[in-house]
């Protein structure tokens, strides 16, 4: 039987983990506290290749060592010793060192067998109250999401990156031209050359149906609806886990109230909006044992973007460990197969982009390097050799708010949920925290749809089967819902102020602008200001954004947004153009001089 070797293999994996933590925590102190300034060689692994097997062998064969406690103790030592390299670079900052201290305390509490509380609480959730909570949460999500998304689009506040790109992309898909854009890089290019996202084809029929009704805001409204629809497979999955109707409704309300899910729509449409729906559908089909439907849902997840493999891989590893503990060979092999599938897909998609496109965006992790010639392999090796660099990025002061909100609105379940639950934070670490790209931890962007859903999966797994709650569990559930509401109220007010004070124009002026644009000759190439590109793309223009203006190939027309007047930024070009027409205080159309 496959589980006959479980105790030995478990001890072996513990030994490897402990050996790595001990070795790396010591060596990182003696390393320089900044990135390596050269590509990597095998020599960089010399200490690991010599010492790590020796430490692992001692732990593995000396069976009197309590490896579970030793692992937590090693983690605590590891985080404590990171003070040295962090202090070298940043000096002392309480906000920076607090996560290190808390994680270390948590690890040592496990070593000492400390429990927060053993009090029990009998909780009965009234179904009518649960339905009211769910309906209010749904209405709040739809109102906030549609209000912000619709207003941004119709006020022409949505820029080329990324809304103009997706509008042009969807227009070309519906027209049968394929996923090509001219806004992505200033020339006709397949979107698959930048991000491999075939799942976008699933939205094309709905875009075609709703475009006559919703106009320029179609994709933004579709995004809000798709995110709200994720509650249906989530509810079904919770019921399959054994949750009562009341508990299922309360837990899906947490998803609806999540600030990461609501405010992720504020910066317009993004393909990541498909992730919650696809992930919950995958979990439901997995629980029901529907293999074919599960494979389809997995392909939708993977097809969202090349980096979406990390969600399927993480879920598979999470349930693989649980199957290992249950000694369920069939489930173990199935989860392993899906984990391998996700990895194969990732390397296939990245190979396609590298061969036929512009390569994947490893540059967003440039903070982990000090040289320009690096790729995916160098990134992974650097994180292995210098874990302190990753920790510096993850626990940087700029990311404290993001981590705090994540903990308060879902991830506190890590303290008492399923033991392999820490695995579910892997996507958040890699997608949101390791990179210093400014948008990865901004709640108004879409990089949280998938990562935060996996944290909610832990919450659902922990609460679905509960009939009696410990005191801290009850407090955490109440705190989670309250935190979501508090964050929603505060951030909604900020977004309302943004919409009211930004470059607003009245409805009559907007109608005049749209009518003006519809009369421009669509056969000519046109270069436009960023906030006008979505409406031009939706009208079928061959449009490029202003930043890609090519001196050697000047377009026939320039369309300038006078709300952010750009003529003064064109000293080399403006003299060769003449103003053809304008909508006062809104836009100007310029054409090359004929003389």
565-587 pLDDT, tens digit per residue, is 554 555 466 677 778 777 777 77
pLDDT at 195 over 80: yes
Q: What percent of the chain has pLDDT over 70?
A: 75
pLDDT at 224 over 50: yes
Model confidence at 5, pLDDT cuts 50, 70, 90, reads very low
pLDDT at 32 over 60: no
Model confidence at 2, pLDDT cuts 50, 70, 90, reads very low
The token duo for 33 is 């506290």
At 579, which helix (H) or strand (E)? strand 577-583
Model confidence at 438, pLDDT cuts 50, 70, 90, reads confident
Cα-Cα end-to-end distance for the chain: 86
pLDDT digits (tens, 9 = 90+) for 376-420: 677 777 777 777 677 777 777 677 778 777 777 775 666 555 567
pLDDT digits (tens, 9 = 90+) for 230-275: 999 999 999 998 888 888 898 898 898 888 888 888 888 989 999 9
Let me know: does 557 contact 590? Beta carbons within 8 Å: yes
Confidence (pLDDT) at 338: 95
The token duo for 152 is 């941004």
CA gap 281, 164 in Å, rounded = 29
pLDDT digits (tens, 9 = 90+) for 100-149: 676 677 677 766 665 544 445 555 567 788 888 899 989 988 888 888 88
pLDDT at 374 over 90: no
pLDDT at 317 over 80: yes
Which of 86-90, 199-203, 540-544 reaches the highest mean pLDDT? 199-203
Confidence (pLDDT) at 221: 93
Between residues 41 and 133, which one has the greater pLDDT? 133
Model confidence at 226, pLDDT cuts 50, 70, 90, reads very high
pLDDT at 43 over 70: no
pLDDT at 3 over 50: no
Strand partners, 589: 559, 581
Model confidence at 4, pLDDT cuts 50, 70, 90, reads very low
- The mean of the pLDDT values for the chain is 78
Strand ranges across the sheet with 526-528: 543-545, 526-528, 557-561, 587-592, 577-583
pLDDT at 203 over 90: yes
Query: Per-residue pLDDT averaged across 172-190, rounded?
Result: 86
At 259, which helix (H) or strand (E)? helix 259-263
Let me know: does 393 contact 430? Beta carbons within 8 Å: no
Which of 47-51, 276-280, 557-561 reaches the highest mean pLDDT? 276-280
């Amino acid at each position: 039987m496959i589980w006959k070797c479980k105790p030995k293999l478990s001890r072996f994996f513990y030994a490897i983990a402990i050996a790595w933590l001990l070795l790396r925590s010591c060596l990182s102190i003696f390393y320089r506290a900044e990135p390596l300034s050269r590509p990597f060689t095998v020599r960089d692994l010399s200490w690991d290749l010599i010492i790590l097997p020796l430490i692992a062998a001692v732990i593995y064969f000396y069976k009197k060592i309590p490896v579970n406690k030793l692992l937590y103790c090693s983690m605590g030592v590891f985080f404590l010793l990171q003070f040295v390299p962090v202090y070298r670079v940043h000096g002392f900052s309480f906000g920076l060192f607090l996560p290190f201290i808390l994680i270390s305390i948590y690890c040592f509490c496990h070593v000492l067998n400390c429990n927060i509380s053993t009090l029990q609480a009998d909780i009965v959730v009234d179904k009518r109250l649960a339905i009211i909570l769910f309906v209010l949460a749904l209405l709040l999500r739809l109102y906030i999401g549609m209000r912000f998304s619709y207003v941004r689009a119709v006020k022409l506040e949505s820029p080329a990156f990324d809304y103009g790109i997706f509008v042009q992309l969807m227009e070309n898909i519906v027209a049968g031209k394929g996923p090509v854009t001219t806004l992505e890089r200033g020339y006709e290019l397949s979107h698959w050359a930048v991000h491999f996202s075939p799942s976008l084809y699933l939205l094309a029929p709905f875009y075609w149906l709703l475009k006559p009704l919703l106009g320029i805001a179609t994709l933004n409204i579709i995004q809000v609806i798709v995110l709200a629809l994720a509650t249906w497979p989530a509810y079904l999955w919770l019921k399959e886990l054994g949750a009562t109707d009341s508990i299922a409704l309360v837990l899906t309300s947490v998803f609806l109230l999540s600030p990461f899910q609501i405010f992720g729509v504020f910066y317009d449409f993004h393909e990541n909006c498909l992730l919650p729906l696809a992930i919950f559908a995958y979990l439901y089909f997995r629980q029901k044992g529907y293999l074919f439907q599960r494979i389809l849902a997995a392909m939708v997840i993977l097809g969202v973007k090349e980096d979406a493999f990390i969600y399927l891989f993480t879920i598979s590893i999470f349930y693989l460990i649980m199957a290992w503990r249950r000694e369920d060979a069939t489930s173990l092999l199935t989860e392993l197969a899906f984990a391998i599938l996700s990895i194969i897909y990732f390397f296939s998609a990245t190979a396609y982009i590298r061969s036929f496109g512009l390569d994947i965006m490893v540059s967003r992790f440039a903070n982990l390097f000090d040289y320009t010639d690096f790729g995916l392999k160098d990134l992974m090796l650097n994180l292995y050799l210098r874990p302190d660099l990753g920790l510096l990025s993850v626990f940087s002061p700029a990311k404290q708010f993001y981590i705090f909100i994540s903990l308060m609105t879902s991830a506190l379940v890590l303290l008492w949920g399923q033991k392999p639950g820490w695995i579910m934070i892997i996507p958040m670490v890699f997608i949101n925290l390791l990179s210093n790209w400014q948008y990865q931890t901004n709640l108004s962007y879409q990089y949280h749809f998938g990562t935060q859903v996996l944290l909610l999966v832990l919450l659902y797994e922990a609460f679905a089967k509960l009939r009696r709650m410990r005191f801290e569990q009850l407090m955490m559930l109440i705190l989670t819902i309250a935190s979501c509401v508090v964050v929603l109220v505060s951030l909604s007010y900020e977004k309302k102020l943004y919409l009211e004070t930004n470059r607003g124009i009245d409805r009559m002026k907007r109608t005049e602008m749209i009518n003006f644009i519809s009369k421009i000759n669509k056969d000519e190439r046109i270069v436009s200001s960023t906030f006008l590109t979505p409406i031009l793309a939706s009208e079928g223009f061959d449009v490029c954004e202003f930043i890609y203006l090519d001196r050697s190939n000047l377009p026939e027309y320039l369309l300038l947004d006078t709300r952010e007047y750009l003529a003064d930024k064109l000293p080399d070009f403006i003299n060769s153009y003449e103003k053809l027409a304008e909508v006062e205080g809104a836009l100007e159309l310029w054409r090359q001089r004929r003389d």
